Structure 1
Amino acid sequence: MIKIGLTGWGDHPSIYRTNSSKREKLYDYSSHFPIVEVDTSFYAIPSTTNIEKWVRETPEQFQFIVKAYQGITGHLRDENPFESRSEMFEAFRQCAKSFQSANKLAMILVQFPPWFDCTTKNVQYIRYIKQQFADFPVAIEFRNQTWYSKERKQETLDFLNENEFIHSVCDEPQAGVGSIPFVPIPTSNKTLVRIHGRNVFGWRNSGSTENWREVRFLYDYNDEELYDLASNMKKLEQQCDEVYVLFNNNSGHHAAKNAKTLQEILDLDFEGLSPKQLDLFEGEF
């Protein structure tokens, strides 16, 4: 089974009703897609109150991919608001349990930074994450090419498989050691595919300009590229039970459009979505 969604639900104007309020964006989103990445949890662990609200606003079959907090993945540059590592992990576990208890947790996504390379120390830290999140499905995403070097690629995949991690397969710019190749190989019964675009310039110049966030994921996939991605999604579907596809190329609001096109190419009809409440003069998406 292939499920398609986007990273976040708050910045995709083409899928909202014209009269929708900010509070209704998740409802509108869930009338189009069956999954979403909670990317705000990377910056701050959401409260139980917010999670319960998101759960109520989405259909029974809707699922959330919850991105791990930046203090867990090594991205945090400011002072850690938690007094200890154990307190931080416990706070995130409680967050994940809130989704899990509602049967809406697809997985936790642990995305490591470009400087998290393939070393014994980092392998041990991933084992530690496995211990801390033993009760949850966990996807691992690397951003450093050393994990997929000729010498380490198979070892990396074997390691993920042995520890029952979900492999986060990435389509992203090939821009040196701070990017990874497209490796559509599952390591569990689920596979996560995150589609970041192919903007090499934006990827390489991340952080060098004030508007780098607007440039980094600025990319519009053409039909040929989407047909190629669709072919790979079908192959993955033959090798595992569930394939979760997330479009993250939204700097120019291309993610929703590309996701819809991929859905059409794959001839997918998602069931159990929120009913579309169209405005009087509004056409279909």
Structure 2
Amino acid sequence: MIEIGLCGWGDHSELYREAGKDKNKLPAYAQWFRVVEVDSTFYAIQSPQVMEKWAAETPDSFRFVIKAYQGMTGHARGGKGHHPYESEAAMFQAFREAIEPIRAAGKLLAVLFQYPPWFNCTRPNVETLRTAKARMADIPCALEFRNQSWFTNEMSEKTIAFTRREGWIHTVCDEPQAGEGSIPIVEAATDDQFTIVRLHGRNTDGWVSAGQPNWRDVRYLYRYNETELSEWVERLRRLEQLTGTVCVLFNNNSGGDAADNALQLMAMLHQLPPRGSFKLPPPKETAQQLELFE
């Protein structure tokens, strides 16, 4: 099974034309897709009440991939130990308690641990992964790297074997090949039930723009063309033979392209959104997108 969705649901105005001024966009999103990545949890651990609300306002068949809090993956400013919790154990416990309503509703696919570009392949970092996985107990967890050292020629097979052995779900990434802070497409599955695919776009210049004004907007400014999506159709079909569900999440949000590309890929896979048929919007020109930042 291949399920397609987006990273976040609040930035895709084209999906909500019929919702009027209703600020509650998740139910409208769920008319188009059956899965979503929750990104707000990266910036702050949400309350269980918020999670309960999200679970209640989505259909029974809807599923969530929830991004791990930045303190759990070493992104927090100041490095390890800089988070508003008395200990790392307390931080992990707070996160587990927060997501419990979604898990109890049977709507949790996985928690996504995306590690930063400086998290390289070393013995201490391997132990960090083991500790994180142990603290999550039996909650399904997906692993995404942003450092190339995990997937060099000599390490790629070892990394995949470690991921499988330790019970992590492999995340296949499509992102710009921009040096040490990016990883290649590693077409593999480490879990019989579930594999994540995250499509970040291929804006090489934007990928290395951290620290510049609007860098988050520039990094994910990209629209996949039909040829690129056709290549992914073939990859997804191969992955589908290795794992129960392949969850595809589009993260190329900056120019409003994620929803369009997701619907386009669904059409190529002969899928329909939950609401039924749809009409693809006309293609955008890259130049028009870039004008947003002039």
Please indicate the TM-score interval, normalised by the length of the shorter structure.
over 0.9
User: Which of 216, 226, 235 is residue 232 of structure 1 equivalent to?
Assistant: 235
Give the structure 1 partner of residue 199 of structure 2.
195
Which position in structure 2 is the counterpart of 1:171? Answer: 174
Q: What whole-Å deviation, never above 9, does each CA across 1:228-258 have from its counterpart, x for those lacking one?
A: 1111011100111110000000100100000
Hey, what's the Cα distance between the residues in 2 that align with 1:22 and 1:128? 42
CA shift for structure 1 position 205: 1.7
The CA deviation string for residues 101-134 of structure 1, in whole angstroms up to 9 with x for no partner, is: 0101010000000000000000001000111112
Does the residue aligned with 1:6 lie in a helix, a strand or coil? strand
Aligned position for 1:115:
118
Q: 2:101 is matched with which residue?
A: 98
Match of 2:249 among 224, 246, 253: 246
Residues 1:77 and 2:77 are matched in the alignment: yes
Instruction: Answer whether contact 1:46 1:95 (CA < 8 A) is retained.
Output: yes
AA partner of residue 91 (structure 2): M
1:77 is aligned with what amino acid?
R
CA positional deviation for 1:21: 3.2
For structure 2, the residue ranges without an aligned partner over 5 or more in a row are 281-294
Secondary structure (helix, strand or coil) at the match of 1:117 reads coil
CA distance in 2, matches of 1:239, 1:19: 39
**Count of matched residue pairs:** 275
Equivalent in the alignment of 2:267? 264
Distance 1:15 1:82, change over 3 A: same
The partner residue of 2:184 within 178, 181, 185 is: 181
Percent identity of paired positions between Structure 1 and Structure 2: 48
Question: Given that residues 35 and 62 in structure 2 are in contact (C-alpha distance below 8 angstroms), is that contact kept between their aligned partners in structure 1?
Answer: yes
Counterpart Cα distance in 1 of 2:190 and 2:166: 9
Contact 1:17 1:28 in 2 (8 A): no
Structure 1 residue 84, shift from structure 2 partner: 1.0
Q: Aligned equivalents of 1:104 and 1:269: distance in 2?
A: 21
1:206 aligns with 2:210: yes
* CA deviation after TM superposition for structure 1 residue 19, in Å: 4.1
What SS class does the counterpart of residue 244 from structure 1 fall into? strand
How far does residue 263 in structure 1 lie from its aligned partner after superposition? Answer: 0.4
Q: Answer 1 or 2: higher relative contact order, Cα 8 Å, separation at least 6.
A: 1
Instruction: Report the equivalent of 1:279.
Output: none
Q: What is the CA distance between 1:17 and its match in structure 2?
A: 2.8
Matching residue of 1:280? none
Report the secondary structure of 2:23's partner residue. Answer: helix
Superposed, 1:18-167 pairs within 5 Å as 18-77=18-77, 79-167=82-170
**Is the Cα–Cα contact under 8 Å of residues 19 and 28 in structure 2 kept in the other structure?**
no
What value does the CA root-mean-square deviation take over the aligned residues? 1.4
Counterpart AA for 1:70: Q
**Residue aligning to 1:2:** 2
Q: CA deviation at 1:61?
A: 0.9
Q: 1:24: how far off?
A: 2.7
- Tell me how far apart the structure 1 counterparts of residues 268 and 56 of structure 2 sit (CA, whole Å): 31
Judged with a 3 Å threshold, the aligned counterparts in structure 2 of structure 1 residues 25 and 234 are, in CA distance, closer, same or farther, namely: same
Query: The residue matched to 1:239 in structure 2 has which SS?
Result: coil
What is the distance in 1 between the residues matched to 2:44 and 2:228? 34
**C-alpha contact (below 8 Å) 2:148/2:180 kept by paired residues:** yes
- CA distance change for structure 1 residues 21 and 57 in 2, over 3 Å: closer, same or farther? farther
What is the TM-score of this pair, normalised by structure 2? 0.90
State the one-letter code of the partner of 1:13. Answer: S
Aligned partners of 1:51 and 1:41: how far apart in 2?
10
Partner-residue secondary structure (3-state), 2:71: helix
- In structure 2, relative to structure 1, the CA distance for the partners of 1:46 and 1:143 (3 Å cut) is same
Unaligned regions of 5+ residues in structure 1, if any? 277-282
- The AA in structure 2 aligned to 1:72 is M
